[in-house]
């Protein structure tokens, strides 16, 4: 089969590799859509321990079942499917406690973890355990299904905020995770949703995705959000960026007793307005990956609760992957979500 193989920093090749064979309790999936994640890009640039070459990336995808391994029943060849990509161990204390998202023994399709590398979906075919397969109704496109994984990240973070009915919220960063955060918060009944970003085009997309207000971070974010909330401040601030500037502005614009959802990780280390956060009795809540949220997110799409496809700004054949990765890495495009396809 053909695959996009990551050979090292800025070295991605579309080449012939051996087609994987499904083992016992596994299925072979013919990939139809795979979405490029920001984490794939930082891997491509050589900045991630979670992408060790040689590796086929791709953890946001959908396709059709091509072959069933031994012992697999309940699925048909040709069936349209999505795949839950977190292959947690299920036996450790974290898994038993419902924290499969941080299982130390997990593997993730398309990445390198402590437990090893697992080739992903930037290829003609990918192998997955049958228990991770999510059947896809005809009403959901392959592209939409490829966005269920990033949706699950935003969904989990949003759930951490608790009841959002009638609440005033803000979202830092209008990339895919922030935009899906906007959609989830809207779907959970938030009243005012303020999107904050520095790129006007992205803010426009945030409004399209359901934000009620868009604020450029170059402007007076504190003043504007105070005005929008009758002087009180925001109940919840979803940080999909993770820069010192966004975290500290988040601490500032949150209301007393408000919640800061920490999702973005642009800066691994930073100085924060710690005392300010404590004296406002803010709840600092981090959120990482997903546990049950991929299946829940797909159900929300099936139920028509959100439209994730609108953030797809371009689609290309898989064979063009090397050029697309290089363009994205060089920052020359203003794409939000890019899909690679096998058609």
Contact criterion met (CB below 8 Å) for 148 and 301: yes
Nearer to Zn ion, 27 or 95 (CB): 95
Contact criterion met (CB below 8 Å) for 56 and 122: yes
Per CB under 5 A, which of residues 11..40 are in contact with Zn ion? 37
Written as six digits, the tokens of 9 are 């920093």
Q: Does residue 54 have a cis peptide bond before it, meaning omega lies within 30 degrees of 0?
A: yes
Backbone angles phi and psi of 74, in degrees to 5: 90, -5
Stretch that binds Zn ion, among 69-77, 81-89, 126-134, 266-274 (CB under 5 A): 81-89
State the nearest-atom distance from the C-beta of 91 to Zn ion, in Å.
Answer: 6
Q: Is 89 in the site for Zn ion (CB under 5 A)?
A: yes
- Of the residues 41, 95, 203, 336, which one makes contact with Zn ion according to CB under 5 A: 95
Contact criterion met (CB below 8 Å) for 249 and 272: no
The shares of helix, strand and coil residues in the chain, as percent rounded to the nearest 5, are 30, 30, 40
Nearer to Zn ion, 17 or 92 (CB): 92
Q: Is 265 in the site for Zn ion (CB under 5 A)?
A: no
State the nearest-atom distance from the C-beta of 320 to Zn ion, in Å.
Answer: 20
Contact criterion met (CB below 8 Å) for 210 and 183: yes
In three-state secondary structure terms, 116 is: strand
Site mask for Zn ion (CB under 5 A), range 36-65, x = bound: -x----------------------------
Nearer to Zn ion, 22 or 264 (CB): 264
Of 130, 153, 185, which is closest to residue 305 (Cα–Cα)? 185
Virtual torsion, Cα 224, 198, 168, 308, nearest 10 deg? 150
Q: Is 92 in the site for Zn ion (CB under 5 A)?
A: yes
Q: Is 103 in the site for Zn ion (CB under 5 A)?
A: yes
Q: Is 324 in the site for Zn ion (CB under 5 A)?
A: no
State the nearest-atom distance from the C-beta of 238 to Zn ion, in Å.
Answer: 17
State the nearest-atom distance from the C-beta of 156 to Zn ion, in Å.
Answer: 13
Nearer to Zn ion, 68 or 108 (CB): 108
Q: Is 224 in the site for Zn ion (CB under 5 A)?
A: no
The C-alpha atoms of residue 329 and residue 103 are separated, in whole angstroms, by: 30
Stretch that binds Zn ion, among 15-23, 94-102, 257-265, 271-279 (CB under 5 A): 94-102
State the nearest-atom distance from the C-beta of 106 to Zn ion, in Å.
Answer: 6
Cα distances from 246 to residues 27, 159, 164, 185, 228, in angstroms, run 42, 21, 21, 19, 19
Contacts with Zn ion by CB under 5 A lie at 37, 88-89, 92, 95, 103, 105
């Amino acid at each position: 089969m053909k695959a996009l193989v990551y050979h090292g920093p800025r070295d991605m090749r579309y080449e012939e590799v051996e087609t994987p064979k499904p083992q016992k309790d596994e299925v072979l999936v013919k990939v139809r859509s795979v979405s490029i994640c920001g984490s794939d890009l930082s891997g491509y640039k050589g900045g991630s321990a979670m992408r060790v070459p040689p590796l086929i990336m791709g953890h946001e995808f959908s396709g059709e079942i091509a072959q069933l391994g031994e012992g697999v029943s309940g699925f048909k060849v040709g069936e349209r499917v999505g795949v839950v990509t977190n292959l947690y161990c299920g036996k450790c204390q974290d898994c038993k406690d419902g924290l499969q998202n941080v299982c130390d023994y997990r593997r993730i399709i398309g990445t390198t973890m402590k437990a090893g590398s697992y080739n992903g979906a930037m290829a003609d075919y990918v192998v997955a355990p049958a228990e991770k397969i999510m059947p896809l109704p005809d009403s959901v496109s392959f592209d939409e299904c490829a966005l269920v994984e990033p949706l699950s990240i935003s969904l989990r973070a949003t759930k951490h905020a608790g009841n959002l009915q009638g609440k005033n919220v803000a979202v830092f960063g209008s990339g895919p995770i922030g935009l899906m955060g906007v959609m989830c918060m809207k779907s959970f009944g938030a009243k005012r949703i303020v999107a904050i970003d520095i790129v006007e085009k992205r803010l426009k997309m945030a409004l399209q995705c359901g934000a009620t207000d868009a604020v450029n971070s170059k402007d007076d974010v504190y003043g504007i959000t105070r005005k929008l909330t009758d002087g009180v401040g925001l109940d919840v601030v979803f940080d999909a960026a993770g820069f010192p500037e966004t975290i500290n502005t988040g601490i500032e614009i949150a209301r007393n007793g408000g919640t800061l959802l920490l999702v973005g990780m642009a800066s691994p280390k930073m100085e924060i307005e710690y005392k300010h956060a404590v004296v406002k009795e803010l709840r600092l809540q981090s959120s990482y990956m997903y546990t049950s949220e991929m299946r829940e997110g797909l159900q929300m799409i099936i139920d028509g609760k959100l439209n994730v496809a609108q953030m797809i700004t371009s689609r290309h054949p898989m064979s063009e992957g090397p050029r697309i990765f290089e363009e994205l890495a060089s920052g020359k495009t203003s794409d939000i979500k890019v899909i690679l396809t096998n058609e």
